[in-house]
Structures are given as structure tokens and as C-alpha cells.
């Protein structure tokens, strides 16, 4: 019985840590050549105002703070006067309604009668991080990960740090600075 319990535990942990992380970058770009960056200030404005539990000012400030920290940890310096890079993020929300029904045979001929049991709306979130070359006006790195920012303030801070760091582990430049 114990081997089955371990298998179940590893399966559950594998599902719990699966965040569907995807990253891509322009492999013709020398990321080591960039020294300065600025955060995109427009990303701090809440876009999904109909869903404040998933997208609000607190969430955006925490993400911005962590993006800045990760860029600095990779050897870039903040420079709002003459930045080479612009780092930013988006929170994408997708809502899907699922209707659960109970279908009973209405007559002996087999016609189906549809009866709605319940309606559920599922919300999925995706965090997209990107870094652009300001002079070339092009995105040179972007990554996305499934996320869930609908958490308490304390849990949200820890979660945001973890998820932004996880995404930035895919960033092509790793500085000698202590991460």
C-alpha cells in the first residue's frame, strides 16, 4: 500500500506545481550588452476592473516590484532617463461558463429532455512578462505562466515573489550577482 501512496503523492505534487510555463527570446540578441532598464508604467494601471479579486493595484505593485528585483538580479540597472530595455507585464483573464445538466429520457422513443442542474464560471489567469529593446522597438524576451492571484495579502506577496522568480529563471541573462 505504501508504494501506491507515494505514487499518488508524487502525482498530486506534479499537478500542483505544473504552471504551464512558456518562454521565448530572440536568439540573435546579446543580452549581456544591455545594462539599463525601466519598468513600463502603463502596466501598473488595472485593466480587468470587473474582476478586482484577480487584478487590482496591490497585485500590480507586487508584480512590478518583483520584476524590478529580477532585472536587477540579472545585472541590469534602473535608469529612467536613458534606458536600453523596458520590462513589463500583463495579466490576462479568461472566463468560461460551464452548464451542468441532467438528461432523462422523456418518452419511450428516447427523446432527451434537458434540465440544467448548475452553472459555474471558471476564471483562468495568465501572467505574461516581457522585455523590449527600446531603440529597436521590439520584444526580445517574453514568458507566460498560468497563475492565480486571488489570495490573501500575505499569501499573495509570497506567491508573487515565487511566480515572478520562476518565470525569470527562463530569462537568457544570468548575472553573477547573488539571486
CATH code, 133? 3.30.160.670
What's the total number of domains in the chain? 1
User: Which residues are CB-neighbours of 21 under 8 A, at least 6 positions away?
Assistant: 143, 144, 145, 166, 167, 170
Which residues form the domain of 36?
A: 20-168
- Exposure on the CB side of residue 166, measured as CA atoms within 13 A: 18
Q: Is residue 7 part of a domain?
A: no
pLDDT in single tens digits along all 179 residues of the chain: 444 444 333 333 333 444 699 999 999 999 999 999 999 999 999 998 988 999 999 999 999 999 999 999 999 999 999 999 999 999 998 877 776 666 555 555 555 555 666 667 777 899 999 999 999 999 999 999 999 999 998 899 999 999 999 999 999 976 644 44
At residue 111, what are phi and psi to the nearest 5 degrees?
A: -70, 140
Q: Is residue 97 part of a domain?
A: yes
Q: Is residue 2 part of a domain?
A: no
CA-based nearest residue to 36, from 89, 66, 67, 80: 80
pLDDT for residue 7: 39
pLDDT for residue 12: 38
pLDDT for residue 116: 60
Beta-carbon neighbour count of residue 131 at 10 Å?
27
Q: Is residue 105 part of a domain?
A: yes
pLDDT for residue 100: 67
Task: For the chain, count helices (H), then strands (E).
Answer: 3, 6
Amino acid at each position: 500500500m505504501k508504494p501506491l501512496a507515494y505514487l499518488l503523492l508524487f502525482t498530486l505534487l506534479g499537478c500542483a506545481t505544473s504552471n504551464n510555463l512558456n518562454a521565448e527570446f530572440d536568439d540573435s540578441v546579446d543580452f549581456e550588452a544591455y545594462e539599463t532598464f525601466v519598468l513600463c508604467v502603463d502596466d501598473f494601471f488595472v485593466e480587468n476592473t470587473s474582476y478586482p479579486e484577480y487584478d487590482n493595484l496591490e497585485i500590480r505593485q507586487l508584480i512590478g516590484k518583483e520584476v524590478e528585483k529580477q532585472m536587477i538580479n540579472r545585472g541590469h540597472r534602473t535608469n529612467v532617463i536613458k534606458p536600453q530595455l523596458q520590462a513589463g507585464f500583463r495579466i490576462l483573464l479568461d472566463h468560461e461558463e460551464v452548464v451542468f445538466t441532467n438528461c432523462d429520457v422523456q418518452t419511450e422513443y428516447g427523446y432527451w429532455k434537458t434540465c440544467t442542474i448548475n452553472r459555474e464560471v471558471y476564471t483562468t489567469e495568465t501572467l505574461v512578462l516581457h522585455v523590449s529593446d527600446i531603440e529597436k522597438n521590439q520584444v526580445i524576451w517574453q514568458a507566460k505562466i498560468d497563475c492565480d492571484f486571488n489570495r490573501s495579502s500575505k499569501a499573495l506577496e509570497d506567491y508573487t515573489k515565487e511566480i515572478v522568480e520562476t518565470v525569470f529563471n527562463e530569462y537568457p541573462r544570468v548575472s553573477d550577482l547573488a539571486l
